[in-house]
Structures are given as C-alpha cells and as structure tokens.
C-alpha cells in the first residue's frame, strides 16, 4: 500500500524510471531499512526489510539512480481507514488484519467474479488504490489466492468449492502459509518442491519429520483444509442483508417485498445479539453498468423493529432510486448499541 499511496499523492512517481525506495536516506540514517519500493527497484532484487544502504549499493552497481521518499505512516493510515470503511459496506463481517490486508465474509456474493471486479473498481475509482482479491471456501486458500491474484490482469483469483487441491498443487511449497526458508529447505531435501508433492506425503510421515502440531498442519494445509474462522471487529458496526435478483428488475412491488424481507432478517439478527440500531441504510446496484449507490439516515430512536427499518429504507429508496433496473438491493442497520444501553439512554433522555 505504501508505494501506491505515494504514487496517488505524487502522480509522477507512477512512471518513475529510477529506483524509488520508501525509506529515509541511509547517508543520514545508516541503519534504515526499506519499507517498500517501486517496480524498478524490485526488479533488481530490492525488497521490503532490506537494509537501505545495501539496496542503494545494489542499484548503483547496476547504474540505476535511487530516489528516497520518507515514509508517512499517518497518510497511509488514513488511506487504510478509507479502504476498510468501503469494504464494510460490502460485507457483514470484516477482519482487519493489517494496514493493507483484510478478510471478508463473502458468502452472500457466492463464487461469481462480477461482484469482486465491481468492488475492486469502486476502490480504484473512489480511493485510487489498486487491490487484489482472493475468493475461496477457507481463509487459508483465500489468502494464497490473493497472492496469486497479484499476478493476474484483473487482480482477482477465484477458487471454487472442490478446487482447492488442484489450485494449490502446482504452487511452490514456499507459497504455503506457515512455511519459511528453513522449512522449505528441509522439504526440498525430501524432494518436496510443490504443495502437490507435500500433499502426497502420509500424515504419519509428516508428524515423524516435523512434530505432531506442525506435521498435522502441513498435512491439512497442503490439501486446502482450514477450520479457522473470521475474527470480526470487537463491536459490530452494522448488520446487513442483501439480495441479487436473477434478472435486473424495476418492479416496485418486488423491490418492496425484498426490502421487507431484509428488514425482518436484520431485525432478527439484532435481537439475537441484543442490539438496536439508530441508523438504516440501503445499497442499490444497477444492472448493465453495475453502478453502486449507498444512502443512509438516522432513525428517530434506537430500534430492532422490522417495520421501522423497512419504512426508513423505503424512504431512502424514494429519494435515491432513479427507476433504472436493479441488480442488487441491500438493507443495513448501523450505529448499533446494546438493548440495555438503549433503554437506559431512553429513560435518561425522558
């Protein structure tokens, strides 16, 4: 993300033919390390975490001029917040893993490329960042798919159910999450160079060679098996429901029925979690163009009443919908608080 943000802020960096290193000048800070670098620098072996002094020497030995750009972590954090806020509009659950990585619950979209491509386009248009997406049945495979996506033209890699082993098999064993340089060297010593090679080894053999815990991990991970689950943010920021129509529609009665159903679903989930909402929002994605709009409004008081949520969503639709055929409709409840807190606030305000 760091170099992408700098290129957005200073567009000339995008076409820079010199080696651009995000780091302080090693002549002033001899122990500095490379935060990241542009494609020119990476092509000659300069990587994140490398000594900036060594990186500079590598570039100059090949006759390449070096430019230093001091890192601006406050700016990167601002872009990260904008990115995560946008992602939250597309998922009921998000795990924010690092400044430039997140895992999303994508089940409501299924294994279709169009929603992912559209989300990537929105991020590029609204924030300017080029991101890569991996979609898979498990977190482990999704993470690896996101790495493969970086090499693809559309920056998207889909791994459908039942395809995980075939997807993983040709990849280098080093690509498997949890395998570092030392483990890779040991595995290659056993003539295991791909994840597919690893998957053929019996569990007992892996346990004998690498111990019970790591051996079992290698056995399951090489087959794409992963029981880990998303760890959401500490407090739910919203609860949403969405529906993709089988055909684009402008039928007001059908759209209203879907909003009512979504309001009931969201209200049920609010009650299950003992929550109430002070804001309702809609998401509309038009057919053909895939343009997506979102609108939200505050409610009169915190609620888990489906009729109130549906009425608020209908009011937003009347203002925002241009009567063009719709591909997707969504309803979201936000500004959540626990029911007990809401009752206490209501008593105090009265």
**pLDDT tens digits, 163-208:** 999 999 999 999 998 898 889 999 999 999 999 999 999 999 999 9
User: Residue 282's Cα: distance from chain center in Å?
Assistant: 21
How far is Cα 72 from Cα 51, in angstroms, rounded to an integer? 19
Residue 303, pLDDT > 50, answer yes
pLDDT (mean) for 19-33? 87
User: What fold is seen in the domain 238-349?
Assistant: Dna Ligase; domain 1 (3.30.1490)
**In DSSP terms, which residues pair with 157 in a beta bridge?**
134
Residue with the larger pLDDT of the pair 198 and 241: 198
pLDDT (mean) for 262-279? 88
Query: Among the CATH numbers 3.40.50.620, 3.20.20.70, 3.40.1170.60, 3.10.310.10, which is that of 2-71?
Result: 3.40.1170.60
pLDDT for residue 225:
94
CATH assignment, 81-230 = 1.10.150.20
Lowest mean pLDDT among 16-20, 146-150, 241-245, 294-298: 241-245
pLDDT (mean) for 314-333? 93
Residue 55, pLDDT > 90, answer yes
pLDDT for residue 190:
96
pLDDT for residue 125:
94
* pLDDT interval class at 96 (50, 70, 90): confident
Cβ-Cβ contacts under 8 Å for 221 (sequence gap 6 or more): 140, 176, 177, 178
Cβ-Cβ contacts under 8 Å for 311 (sequence gap 6 or more): none
Summary mean pLDDT of the chain: 88
Residue 85, pLDDT > 70, answer yes
How far is Cα 232 from Cα 275, in angstroms, rounded to an integer? 16
Residue 224 Cα distances to 31, 144, 173, 214, angstroms = 40, 10, 13, 15
| Residue 101 is among the residues annotated as catalytic for this protein | yes
Question: Per the residue annotation, which of 65, 101, 254, 272 is the catalytic one?
Answer: 101
Cβ-contact 284, 329 below 8 angstroms: yes
Residue 347, pLDDT > 80, answer no
pLDDT for residue 233:
58
How far is Cα 32 from Cα 53, in angstroms, rounded to an integer? 7
**Is residue 58 packed enough to be buried (19+ CB in 10 Å), middle (13-18) or exposed (0-12)?**
middle
Closest of 244, 243, 200 to residue 219, by C-alpha: 200
* pLDDT interval class at 345 (50, 70, 90): very low
**In DSSP terms, which residues pair with 69 in a beta bridge?**
22
Residue 239, pLDDT > 60, answer yes
List the domain boundaries for the chain.
Answer: 2-71, 81-230, 238-349
**Is residue 332 packed enough to be buried (19+ CB in 10 Å), middle (13-18) or exposed (0-12)?**
buried
């Amino acid at each position: 993300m760091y170099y992408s943000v700098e290129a957005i802020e200073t567009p000339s960096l995008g076409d820079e033919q010199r080696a651009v290193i995000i780091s302080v000048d090693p002549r002033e800070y001899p122990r500095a390390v490379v935060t990241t670098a542009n494609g020119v620098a990476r092509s000659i072996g300069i990587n994140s975490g490398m000594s900036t002094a060594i990186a500079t020497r590598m570039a100059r030995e090949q006759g390449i001029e070096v430019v230093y750009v001091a890192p601006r972590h406050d700016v990167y954090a601002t872009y990260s917040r904008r990115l995560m806020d946008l992602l939250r509009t597309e998922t009921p659950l998000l795990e924010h893993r690092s400044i430039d990585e997140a895992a999303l619950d994508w089940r409501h979209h299924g294994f279709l490329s169009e929603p992912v491509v559209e989300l990537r386009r929105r991020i590029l248009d609204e924030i300017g960042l080029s991101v890569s997406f991996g979609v898979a049945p498990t977190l482990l495979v999704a993470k690896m798919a996101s790495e493969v996506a970086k090499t693809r033209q559309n920056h998207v890699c889909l791994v459908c159910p039942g395809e995980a082993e075939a997807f993983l098999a040709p990849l280098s064993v080093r690509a498997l999450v949890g395998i570092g340089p030392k483990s890779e060297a040991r595995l290659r010593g056993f003539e295991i160079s791909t994840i597919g090679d690893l998957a053929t080894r019996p569990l007992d053999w892996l346990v004998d060679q690498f111990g019970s815990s790591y051996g079992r991990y290698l056995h399951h991970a090489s087959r794409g098996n992963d029981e880990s689950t998303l760890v959401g943010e500490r407090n739910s920021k919203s609860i949403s429901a969405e529906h993709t129509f089988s055909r684009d529609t402008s039928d007001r009665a059908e759209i209203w029925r879907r909003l009512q159903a979504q309001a009931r679903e969201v209200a049920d989930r609010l009650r299950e979690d003992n929550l109430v909402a002070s804001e309702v929002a809609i998401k509309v994605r038009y057919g053909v163009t895939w343009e997506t709009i979102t609108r939200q409004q505050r409610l009169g008081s915190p609620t888990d009443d489906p009729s109130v949520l549906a009425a608020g969503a209908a009011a937003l639709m009347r203002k925002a919908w241009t009567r063009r055929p719709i591909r997707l409709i969504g309803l979201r409840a936000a500004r959540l608080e626990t029911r007990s807190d809401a009752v206490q606030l209501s008593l105090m305000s009265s």
